[in-house]
Amino acid sequence: MTDRVRAACSVALLHGGSHAQLATLADPALAQYRLRPLHVRTAAPEELTDIDVIVVSDRLRPDLLGPWTAGLLAALDRGATVVVFGENPVQGWVPGVRQQSRPTVFWWWRTGEDHRLRTRAPDHPAWGFFADRAVIWHYHGVLEPPPGAVSLVDLHTEDGARDGSILYLDEQSTPGRLLVTTMDPVYHHGSGFMPGATQLLYSALYWATTNGKKPC
């Protein structure tokens, strides 16, 4: 699909005006998506009704994200694609998910620690969009997806047992598509540090706008 066709798709970034979020909105590499900025304080949830792809930026204040959740669920019900990045509360409004905090292994590539992240579902079409570097770098907690959802990356415990998902795709719970992760790529991309964050941000937008149930 060409950039011109992708740009015809309406894409919004729900954000809170942080330095990293504003830097992401100003990134020339994302200009092709014509991101519509929706500030959680000054925009209205009704503005979601005509948007095909909605990206919920990481690290939003829970009390400010709360009024938007009904609109996000309504968007999924009409077949939109919603991407929810990490450091956001998802249990209680994202369909069927359970969420738990976990300590983060920040600099495993320097310390030699095992990051304990393992990719899953190797034959899933999403892997045509996400490289390992984009999805193995960082996390904030684990998720237990609902039945029918596909975990793409799991965190394991030190003894090798599965601990939970840090990235999953749900195409079953609603008519739309829901990609949820505990990684926070907007913060790290906009702040200019953390290998893999930029790749995840770019890959998620490319996936969301080129591979939907409702073609963009």
> Looking at residues 208-213, what average pLDDT do you find?
75
Establish if 116 belongs to a structural domain.
yes
29 falls within a domain:
yes
**Average pLDDT of the residues in 146-160:** 96
**Res 1 pLDDT > 50:** no
Q: Which two tokens stand for residue 31?
A: 């200009």
Q: Give, in order, the Cα–Cα distances in Å from 20 to each of 15, 72, 208.
A: 10, 22, 21
| Count: domains in the chain | 1
Q: In this structure, are residues 139 and 182 in contact, taking their beta carbons and an 8 Å threshold?
A: yes
Bridge-based pairing state of the strands 36-39 and 142-144? unpaired
What distance lies between CA 42 and its chain's CA centroid? 22
Residue 216 lies in a domain: no
pTM, 2 dp: 0.94
CATH at residue 14: 3.40.50.880
| Distance in angstroms (rounded) separating the CA atoms of residues 114 and 216 | 39
Cα–Cα distance, 12 to 14 (Å, whole number): 6
* Whole-angstrom distance, CA of residue 86 vs CA of residue 167: 10
Specify if 147 maps to a domain. Answer: yes
Average of pLDDT values for 128-151?
Answer: 96
Distances from the Cα of 52 to the Cα of 5, 31, 104, angstroms: 13, 17, 33
The lowest-confidence range among 149-158, 178-187, 190-199, 205-214 is 205-214
Domain with 186 in it: 3-210
Any domain includes 30? yes
**Is residue 66 scored above 50 in pLDDT?**
yes
- Both tokens assigned to 117: 């992240």
pLDDT band at 4 (very low <50, low <70, confident <90, very high): very low
CA distances from 194 to 115, 127, 179 (A): 14, 21, 21
Helix (H/G/I), strand (E/B), else coil: 28: helix
Q: Is residue 198 part of a domain?
A: yes
Residue 151 domain-assigned?
Answer: yes
| Cβ atoms 165, 154 nearer than 8 A | yes
